[in-house]
Structure 1
Protein backbone atom coordinates (compact mmCIF):
# COMPACT_ATOMS: atom_id res chain seq x y z
CA UNK A 1 0.00 0.00 0.00
CA UNK A 2 1.21 3.48 -0.77
CA UNK A 3 1.22 5.57 2.38
CA UNK A 4 1.78 9.31 2.56
CA UNK A 5 4.99 10.11 4.39
CA UNK A 6 5.94 12.70 6.97
CA UNK A 7 9.36 14.27 7.27
CA UNK A 8 10.38 17.13 9.52
CA UNK A 9 7.37 19.38 9.92
CA UNK A 10 7.29 23.14 10.31
CA UNK A 11 7.02 24.12 13.96
CA UNK A 12 4.50 26.90 13.33
CA UNK A 13 1.37 25.14 14.62
CA UNK A 14 1.25 21.56 15.94
CA UNK A 15 -0.75 18.95 14.07
CA UNK A 16 -3.40 16.65 15.51
CA UNK A 17 -2.30 13.03 15.89
CA UNK A 18 -5.36 10.84 16.50
CA UNK A 19 -5.19 7.47 18.25
CA UNK A 20 -7.93 4.86 18.11
CA UNK A 21 -9.77 3.80 21.24
CA UNK A 22 -11.43 0.47 22.07
CA UNK A 23 -14.88 1.17 20.63
CA UNK A 24 -16.69 -1.59 18.79
CA UNK A 25 -15.23 -1.52 15.30
CA UNK A 26 -18.18 -0.27 13.29
CA UNK A 27 -18.55 2.71 15.64
CA UNK A 28 -14.79 3.29 15.68
CA UNK A 29 -14.73 3.37 11.88
CA UNK A 30 -17.53 5.93 11.75
CA UNK A 31 -15.79 8.12 14.32
CA UNK A 32 -12.52 7.94 12.42
CA UNK A 33 -14.27 8.88 9.19
CA UNK A 34 -15.93 11.86 10.90
CA UNK A 35 -12.59 13.06 12.27
CA UNK A 36 -10.62 12.50 9.07
CA UNK A 37 -13.26 14.29 7.01
CA UNK A 38 -12.51 17.52 8.91
CA UNK A 39 -9.05 17.65 7.33
CA UNK A 40 -7.45 18.37 10.71
CA UNK A 41 -5.88 14.97 11.39
CA UNK A 42 -2.23 14.76 10.30
CA UNK A 43 -1.39 11.29 11.62
CA UNK A 44 -3.40 8.28 12.80
CA UNK A 45 -2.29 5.53 15.17
CA UNK A 46 -4.02 2.17 15.36
CA UNK A 47 -3.94 1.01 18.97
CA UNK A 48 -6.46 -1.73 19.81
CA UNK A 49 -5.11 -3.34 22.97
CA UNK A 50 -8.38 -4.88 24.17
CA UNK A 51 -8.99 -6.49 20.81
CA UNK A 52 -5.39 -7.69 20.65
CA UNK A 53 -5.85 -9.44 24.01
CA UNK A 54 -8.59 -11.70 22.60
CA UNK A 55 -7.67 -15.27 21.57
CA UNK A 56 -7.84 -14.33 17.87
CA UNK A 57 -6.79 -10.76 18.53
CA UNK A 58 -3.93 -10.53 16.04
CA UNK A 59 -6.18 -11.64 13.19
CA UNK A 60 -8.94 -9.26 14.23
CA UNK A 61 -6.60 -6.28 14.51
CA UNK A 62 -5.14 -7.06 11.10
CA UNK A 63 -8.59 -7.16 9.49
CA UNK A 64 -9.57 -3.92 11.22
CA UNK A 65 -6.29 -2.26 10.28
CA UNK A 66 -6.77 -3.08 6.59
CA UNK A 67 -10.00 -1.09 6.62
CA UNK A 68 -8.60 1.77 8.71
CA UNK A 69 -5.51 2.14 6.50
CA UNK A 70 -7.70 2.21 3.40
CA UNK A 71 -9.86 4.90 4.98
CA UNK A 72 -6.85 6.96 6.03
CA UNK A 73 -5.32 6.65 2.56
CA UNK A 74 -8.48 8.12 1.07
CA UNK A 75 -7.85 11.24 3.17
CA UNK A 76 -4.09 11.19 2.55
CA UNK A 77 -3.36 10.68 6.26
CA UNK A 78 -0.39 8.46 7.20
CA UNK A 79 -0.89 5.63 9.68
CA UNK A 80 1.28 4.05 12.36
CA UNK A 81 0.68 0.80 14.22
CA UNK A 82 1.22 0.72 17.96
CA UNK A 83 4.16 -1.48 19.01
CA UNK A 84 3.97 -4.08 16.20
CA UNK A 85 6.76 -3.81 13.60
CA UNK A 86 5.68 -7.01 11.85
CA UNK A 87 2.09 -5.83 11.40
CA UNK A 88 3.27 -2.40 10.27
CA UNK A 89 5.46 -4.01 7.61
CA UNK A 90 2.61 -6.27 6.50
CA UNK A 91 0.31 -3.27 6.09
CA UNK A 92 2.95 -0.99 4.56
CA UNK A 93 2.58 1.66 7.27
CA UNK A 94 4.66 3.17 10.07
CA UNK A 95 5.06 2.12 13.69
CA UNK A 96 5.13 3.65 17.15
CA UNK A 97 7.42 1.87 19.61
CA UNK A 98 7.42 1.99 23.38
CA UNK A 99 10.77 1.63 25.10
CA UNK A 100 10.20 -2.12 25.52
CA UNK A 101 8.54 -2.78 22.16
CA UNK A 102 11.32 -3.19 19.66
CA UNK A 103 14.31 -1.33 18.27
CA UNK A 104 14.18 1.57 15.87
CA UNK A 105 16.94 -0.12 13.87
CA UNK A 106 14.75 -3.21 13.46
CA UNK A 107 11.85 -1.06 12.35
CA UNK A 108 14.03 0.72 9.80
CA UNK A 109 15.12 -2.63 8.38
CA UNK A 110 11.54 -3.89 8.05
CA UNK A 111 9.72 -0.76 6.89
CA UNK A 112 9.94 1.32 3.75
CA UNK A 113 12.30 4.29 3.98
CA UNK A 114 9.46 6.83 3.97
CA UNK A 115 7.53 5.28 6.86
CA UNK A 116 7.12 7.04 10.18
CA UNK A 117 8.79 5.56 13.25
CA UNK A 118 7.82 7.04 16.60
CA UNK A 119 9.43 6.38 19.97
CA UNK A 120 8.03 6.81 23.47
CA UNK A 121 10.50 8.88 25.48
CA UNK A 122 8.40 10.03 28.47
CA UNK A 123 10.18 13.09 29.90
CA UNK A 124 13.72 11.78 29.49
CA UNK A 125 16.01 13.93 27.34
CA UNK A 126 18.53 11.08 27.14
CA UNK A 127 15.88 8.86 25.54
CA UNK A 128 14.96 11.67 23.14
CA UNK A 129 18.61 12.09 22.14
CA UNK A 130 18.86 8.33 21.53
CA UNK A 131 15.64 8.31 19.48
CA UNK A 132 17.10 11.06 17.32
CA UNK A 133 20.43 9.26 16.92
CA UNK A 134 18.66 6.01 16.04
CA UNK A 135 16.65 7.76 13.33
CA UNK A 136 13.16 8.02 14.81
CA UNK A 137 10.72 10.32 13.03
CA UNK A 138 9.44 11.74 16.30
CA UNK A 139 9.84 11.40 20.06
CA UNK A 140 6.71 11.20 22.20
CA UNK A 141 6.70 13.00 25.54
CA UNK A 142 4.15 12.56 28.31
CA UNK A 143 1.99 12.25 30.12
CA UNK A 144 1.50 16.00 29.93
CA UNK A 145 -1.62 15.86 32.10
CA UNK A 146 -3.37 13.07 33.98
CA UNK A 147 -4.62 10.57 31.40
CA UNK A 148 -7.59 8.22 31.44
CA UNK A 149 -5.88 6.08 28.79
CA UNK A 150 -2.76 5.56 30.93
CA UNK A 151 -3.79 6.52 34.49
CA UNK A 152 -0.49 5.37 36.01
CA UNK A 153 1.65 7.60 33.81
CA UNK A 154 3.37 10.30 35.85
CA UNK A 155 2.91 13.78 34.36
CA UNK A 156 6.09 15.47 33.17
CA UNK A 157 7.09 19.06 33.88
CA UNK A 158 7.02 22.02 31.54
CA UNK A 159 10.79 22.27 31.88
CA UNK A 160 11.14 18.70 30.62
CA UNK A 161 8.97 19.62 27.65
CA UNK A 162 11.05 22.69 26.91
CA UNK A 163 14.27 20.68 27.02
CA UNK A 164 12.76 17.95 24.85
CA UNK A 165 11.74 20.49 22.23
CA UNK A 166 15.35 21.68 22.02
CA UNK A 167 16.75 18.32 20.87
CA UNK A 168 16.29 18.74 17.13
CA UNK A 169 13.71 16.00 16.60
CA UNK A 170 9.96 16.26 16.02
CA UNK A 171 8.20 16.17 19.38
CA UNK A 172 4.81 14.58 20.04
CA UNK A 173 3.00 15.35 23.30
CA UNK A 174 0.49 12.93 24.76
CA UNK A 175 -1.52 12.39 27.90
CA UNK A 176 -4.74 14.05 29.02
CA UNK A 177 -4.69 16.71 26.33
CA UNK A 178 -7.88 18.60 25.56
CA UNK A 179 -8.88 21.54 23.38
CA UNK A 180 -9.14 23.54 26.62
CA UNK A 181 -5.85 22.71 28.34
CA UNK A 182 -3.66 22.70 25.24
CA UNK A 183 -3.31 26.48 25.65
CA UNK A 184 -0.91 25.75 28.51
CA UNK A 185 1.62 24.48 25.95
CA UNK A 186 1.24 27.40 23.55
CA UNK A 187 4.44 28.50 21.87
CA UNK A 188 6.42 25.29 22.44
CA UNK A 189 8.08 23.75 19.37
CA UNK A 190 5.76 20.76 19.21
CA UNK A 191 5.05 18.85 15.99
CA UNK A 192 2.22 16.53 17.06
CA UNK A 193 -0.50 16.67 19.69
CA UNK A 194 -1.66 13.10 20.33
CA UNK A 195 -5.33 12.81 21.27
CA UNK A 196 -7.47 9.83 22.17
CA UNK A 197 -10.28 10.40 24.64
CA UNK A 198 -10.93 14.08 23.98
CA UNK A 199 -12.11 13.18 20.49
CA UNK A 200 -12.64 9.42 20.25
CA UNK A 201 -14.58 8.95 23.48
CA UNK A 202 -17.26 11.41 22.38
CA UNK A 203 -20.52 10.36 20.72
CA UNK A 204 -20.27 10.15 16.95
CA UNK A 205 -22.33 13.28 16.33
CA UNK A 206 -19.92 15.40 18.40
CA UNK A 207 -16.66 14.36 16.68
CA UNK A 208 -16.61 16.97 13.90
CA UNK A 209 -17.52 19.78 16.29
CA UNK A 210 -14.76 18.77 18.71
CA UNK A 211 -12.22 18.76 15.88
CA UNK A 212 -13.36 22.29 15.00
CA UNK A 213 -12.81 23.30 18.63
CA UNK A 214 -9.28 21.91 18.40
CA UNK A 215 -8.70 23.91 15.25
CA UNK A 216 -9.84 27.04 17.05
CA UNK A 217 -7.61 26.31 20.05
CA UNK A 218 -4.55 25.79 17.86
CA UNK A 219 -5.20 28.89 15.75
CA UNK A 220 -3.87 31.03 18.60
CA UNK A 221 -0.79 28.88 19.24
CA UNK A 222 1.81 31.54 18.53
CA UNK A 223 -0.15 34.56 19.76
Structure 2
Protein backbone atom coordinates (compact mmCIF):
# COMPACT_ATOMS: atom_id res chain seq x y z
CA UNK A 1 0.00 0.00 0.00
CA UNK A 2 2.81 2.46 0.82
CA UNK A 3 6.50 2.87 0.28
CA UNK A 4 8.76 1.87 3.17
CA UNK A 5 9.73 5.51 3.62
CA UNK A 6 7.14 8.28 3.54
CA UNK A 7 7.26 10.81 0.74
CA UNK A 8 7.49 14.59 1.06
CA UNK A 9 4.30 16.37 0.04
CA UNK A 10 4.92 20.11 -0.36
CA UNK A 11 2.14 22.68 -0.20
CA UNK A 12 2.67 26.12 -1.68
CA UNK A 13 2.14 29.28 0.31
CA UNK A 14 0.88 32.70 -0.76
CA UNK A 15 4.20 34.27 -1.70
CA UNK A 16 4.12 36.59 -4.68
CA UNK A 17 4.27 34.35 -7.75
CA UNK A 18 7.83 35.13 -8.88
CA UNK A 19 9.12 34.53 -5.35
CA UNK A 20 7.13 31.32 -5.10
CA UNK A 21 8.47 30.01 -8.40
CA UNK A 22 12.02 30.82 -7.33
CA UNK A 23 11.54 28.94 -4.07
CA UNK A 24 9.93 25.97 -5.79
CA UNK A 25 12.74 25.76 -8.34
CA UNK A 26 15.19 25.29 -5.47
CA UNK A 27 12.95 22.81 -3.67
CA UNK A 28 11.99 20.65 -6.65
CA UNK A 29 15.55 20.56 -7.95
CA UNK A 30 16.61 18.54 -4.89
CA UNK A 31 14.38 15.67 -6.00
CA UNK A 32 12.89 15.15 -2.54
CA UNK A 33 9.38 16.47 -3.31
CA UNK A 34 7.06 13.70 -4.50
CA UNK A 35 3.79 15.64 -4.60
CA UNK A 36 3.02 19.36 -4.89
CA UNK A 37 -0.22 20.96 -3.80
CA UNK A 38 -1.05 24.32 -5.35
CA UNK A 39 -2.69 26.09 -2.44
CA UNK A 40 -3.12 29.82 -3.08
CA UNK A 41 -5.84 30.96 -0.71
CA UNK A 42 -4.93 34.64 -0.77
CA UNK A 43 -4.55 34.67 -4.55
CA UNK A 44 -8.11 33.44 -4.96
CA UNK A 45 -9.37 36.32 -2.80
CA UNK A 46 -7.20 39.09 -4.26
CA UNK A 47 -7.06 38.43 -7.99
CA UNK A 48 -9.37 37.76 -10.89
CA UNK A 49 -9.90 34.32 -12.37
CA UNK A 50 -7.51 34.97 -15.27
CA UNK A 51 -4.68 35.62 -12.81
CA UNK A 52 -5.52 32.48 -10.85
CA UNK A 53 -5.35 30.38 -14.02
CA UNK A 54 -2.17 32.09 -15.23
CA UNK A 55 -0.41 31.41 -11.93
CA UNK A 56 -1.64 27.81 -11.89
CA UNK A 57 -0.29 27.29 -15.40
CA UNK A 58 3.15 28.53 -14.35
CA UNK A 59 3.21 26.27 -11.30
CA UNK A 60 1.96 23.18 -13.13
CA UNK A 61 4.56 23.73 -15.86
CA UNK A 62 7.29 23.98 -13.25
CA UNK A 63 6.18 20.75 -11.58
CA UNK A 64 6.04 19.04 -14.96
CA UNK A 65 9.64 20.10 -15.59
CA UNK A 66 10.67 18.12 -12.51
CA UNK A 67 8.19 15.28 -13.08
CA UNK A 68 6.37 16.01 -9.81
CA UNK A 69 2.67 15.21 -9.51
CA UNK A 70 0.35 18.12 -8.74
CA UNK A 71 -2.92 18.42 -6.85
CA UNK A 72 -5.03 21.56 -6.74
CA UNK A 73 -6.35 22.63 -3.37
CA UNK A 74 -10.16 22.44 -3.28
CA UNK A 75 -10.63 23.41 -6.95
CA UNK A 76 -12.02 20.71 -9.19
CA UNK A 77 -12.38 23.10 -12.14
CA UNK A 78 -8.69 24.02 -12.03
CA UNK A 79 -7.73 20.37 -11.66
CA UNK A 80 -9.86 19.37 -14.63
CA UNK A 81 -8.53 22.23 -16.76
CA UNK A 82 -4.86 21.42 -16.08
CA UNK A 83 -5.29 17.62 -15.88
CA UNK A 84 -3.95 17.47 -12.33
CA UNK A 85 -5.17 15.84 -9.17
CA UNK A 86 -7.14 17.60 -6.46
CA UNK A 87 -7.25 17.75 -2.68
CA UNK A 88 -10.70 18.27 -1.23
CA UNK A 89 -11.64 19.45 2.23
CA UNK A 90 -14.75 18.03 3.81
CA UNK A 91 -16.79 21.01 2.56
CA UNK A 92 -15.04 21.50 -0.75
CA UNK A 93 -16.65 19.14 -3.20
CA UNK A 94 -17.89 15.67 -3.88
CA UNK A 95 -15.06 13.19 -3.93
CA UNK A 96 -16.88 10.58 -6.00
CA UNK A 97 -17.75 13.24 -8.58
CA UNK A 98 -14.14 14.40 -8.67
CA UNK A 99 -13.03 10.83 -9.34
CA UNK A 100 -15.59 10.51 -12.12
CA UNK A 101 -14.46 13.75 -13.76
CA UNK A 102 -10.70 13.39 -13.33
CA UNK A 103 -10.42 9.66 -13.98
CA UNK A 104 -8.89 6.72 -12.21
CA UNK A 105 -5.23 7.62 -12.58
CA UNK A 106 -5.04 11.04 -10.91
CA UNK A 107 -4.32 11.67 -7.23
CA UNK A 108 -7.32 12.76 -5.19
CA UNK A 109 -6.84 13.52 -1.52
CA UNK A 110 -9.40 14.11 1.20
CA UNK A 111 -9.08 16.00 4.47
CA UNK A 112 -10.11 13.65 7.28
CA UNK A 113 -9.08 15.75 10.30
CA UNK A 114 -8.86 13.36 13.28
CA UNK A 115 -11.81 11.19 12.30
CA UNK A 116 -11.33 7.54 11.33
CA UNK A 117 -14.91 7.44 10.02
CA UNK A 118 -14.04 10.19 7.54
CA UNK A 119 -10.91 8.26 6.59
CA UNK A 120 -12.99 5.15 5.85
CA UNK A 121 -15.48 7.25 3.89
CA UNK A 122 -12.64 8.72 1.81
CA UNK A 123 -11.59 5.21 0.81
CA UNK A 124 -15.16 4.29 -0.07
CA UNK A 125 -15.54 7.35 -2.30
CA UNK A 126 -12.32 6.70 -4.22
CA UNK A 127 -9.65 8.82 -2.56
CA UNK A 128 -5.97 8.18 -3.25
CA UNK A 129 -5.07 9.15 0.29
CA UNK A 130 -6.65 10.53 3.45
CA UNK A 131 -5.02 13.43 5.28
CA UNK A 132 -5.05 13.39 9.08
CA UNK A 133 -3.95 16.19 11.37
CA UNK A 134 -2.87 18.39 12.85
CA UNK A 135 0.01 16.31 14.17
CA UNK A 136 1.72 19.16 16.01
CA UNK A 137 0.75 22.79 16.55
CA UNK A 138 0.88 24.45 13.15
CA UNK A 139 1.70 27.97 11.98
CA UNK A 140 -0.57 27.47 8.97
CA UNK A 141 -3.60 26.34 10.98
CA UNK A 142 -2.97 27.29 14.62
CA UNK A 143 -6.56 26.52 15.70
CA UNK A 144 -6.64 23.01 14.27
CA UNK A 145 -7.14 20.23 16.80
CA UNK A 146 -4.38 17.70 17.25
CA UNK A 147 -4.91 14.09 16.21
CA UNK A 148 -3.92 11.42 18.70
CA UNK A 149 -1.56 8.57 17.89
CA UNK A 150 -4.22 5.95 18.72
CA UNK A 151 -6.44 7.52 16.03
CA UNK A 152 -3.60 7.36 13.51
CA UNK A 153 -2.94 3.76 14.46
CA UNK A 154 -6.55 2.89 13.61
CA UNK A 155 -5.99 4.09 10.05
CA UNK A 156 -3.59 1.18 9.57
CA UNK A 157 -6.63 -1.10 9.47
CA UNK A 158 -8.07 0.83 6.51
CA UNK A 159 -6.60 0.04 3.09
CA UNK A 160 -5.97 3.68 2.19
CA UNK A 161 -2.65 5.53 2.10
CA UNK A 162 -2.20 7.92 5.02
CA UNK A 163 -1.01 11.51 4.74
CA UNK A 164 -0.15 13.43 7.91
CA UNK A 165 -0.15 17.21 8.11
CA UNK A 166 0.19 20.01 10.59
CA UNK A 167 3.26 21.38 12.34
CA UNK A 168 5.64 18.70 11.09
CA UNK A 169 9.25 19.82 10.76
CA UNK A 170 12.59 18.22 10.02
CA UNK A 171 13.34 18.63 13.72
CA UNK A 172 10.29 16.75 15.03
CA UNK A 173 10.08 14.23 12.18
CA UNK A 174 11.65 11.37 14.11
CA UNK A 175 9.43 12.09 17.10
CA UNK A 176 6.52 11.43 14.76
CA UNK A 177 8.20 8.27 13.45
CA UNK A 178 8.78 6.90 16.92
CA UNK A 179 5.24 7.63 18.07
CA UNK A 180 3.69 6.10 14.94
CA UNK A 181 5.46 2.80 15.40
CA UNK A 182 4.58 0.49 12.53
CA UNK A 183 1.74 2.64 11.13
CA UNK A 184 2.36 2.87 7.35
CA UNK A 185 2.72 6.42 6.09
CA UNK A 186 2.50 7.54 2.46
CA UNK A 187 2.92 11.32 2.63
CA UNK A 188 4.18 13.92 5.06
CA UNK A 189 2.65 17.26 4.11
CA UNK A 190 4.68 20.39 4.79
CA UNK A 191 4.33 24.09 4.14
CA UNK A 192 6.01 26.41 6.64
CA UNK A 193 9.06 24.30 7.49
CA UNK A 194 10.20 24.68 3.88
CA UNK A 195 8.27 27.52 2.24
CA UNK A 196 8.80 30.01 5.10
CA UNK A 197 12.52 30.03 4.30
CA UNK A 198 14.32 32.23 1.81
CA UNK A 199 15.15 30.93 -1.66
CA UNK A 200 18.84 30.78 -0.77
CA UNK A 201 18.25 28.33 2.10
CA UNK A 202 15.39 26.20 0.76
CA UNK A 203 17.61 23.69 -1.04
CA UNK A 204 19.55 23.01 2.17
CA UNK A 205 16.30 22.64 4.07
CA UNK A 206 15.00 20.16 1.50
CA UNK A 207 18.22 18.17 1.62
CA UNK A 208 17.85 17.92 5.41
CA UNK A 209 14.37 16.49 4.85
CA UNK A 210 15.73 14.17 2.18
CA UNK A 211 18.36 12.75 4.51
CA UNK A 212 15.88 12.16 7.32
CA UNK A 213 13.34 10.51 5.03
CA UNK A 214 16.04 8.24 3.56
CA UNK A 215 16.92 7.16 7.09
CA UNK A 216 13.32 6.74 8.22
TM-score, L = length of structure 2: 0.95
Contact 2:2 2:185 in 1 (8 A): no
- Taking the aligned partners of 1:184 and 1:60, their CA distance within structure 2 comes to 41
Would you identify which runs of 4 or more consecutive aligned residues in structure 1 move more than 4 Å?
Answer: none
The alignment partner of 1:140 has SS state of strand
The alignment partner of 1:132 has SS state of helix
- Taking the aligned partners of 1:55 and 1:212, their CA distance within structure 2 comes to 34
- Taking the aligned partners of 1:78 and 1:136, their CA distance within structure 2 comes to 16
The equivalent residue for 2:64 is 73
**Residue 208 of structure 1: CA displacement?**
0.6
Aligned pairs for 1:41-120 (under 5 A) are 41-56=33-48, 58-120=49-111
The alignment partner of 1:51 has SS state of helix
1:18 to 10, 15, 19: 10
> Deviation per CA, 1:16-37, whole angstroms, max 9, x where unpaired?
0000001111010011111100
Contact 1:118 1:139 in 2 (8 A): yes
The alignment partner of 1:36 has SS state of helix
Answering whether residue 175 of structure 2 is matched by residue 190 of structure 1, we say no
Answering whether residue 155 of structure 2 is matched by residue 160 of structure 1, we say no
**Residue 15 of structure 1: CA displacement?**
0.2
- Taking the aligned partners of 2:64 and 2:126, their CA distance within structure 1 comes to 24
The equivalent residue for 2:197 is 202
**Residue 151 of structure 1: CA displacement?**
1.1
The alignment partner of 1:110 has SS state of helix
- Taking the aligned partners of 1:47 and 1:208, their CA distance within structure 2 comes to 20
Contact 2:9 2:36 in 1 (8 A): yes
1:138 to 117, 121, 129: 129
**Residue 59 of structure 1: CA displacement?**
2.3
TM-score, L = length of structure 1: 0.92
Count of aligned pairs: 212
The equivalent residue for 1:178 is 169
- Taking the aligned partners of 2:66 and 2:156, their CA distance within structure 1 comes to 29
Instruction: Give structure 1 stretches of 5+ with no counterpart.
Output: 1-7
**Residue 74 of structure 1: CA displacement?**
1.1
Contact 1:180 1:217 in 2 (8 A): no
The equivalent residue for 1:27 is 19
- Taking the aligned partners of 1:68 and 1:55, their CA distance within structure 2 comes to 16
**Residue 93 of structure 1: CA displacement?**
0.4
> Deviation per CA, 1:130-159, whole angstroms, max 9, x where unpaired?
101111000000000111111110111111
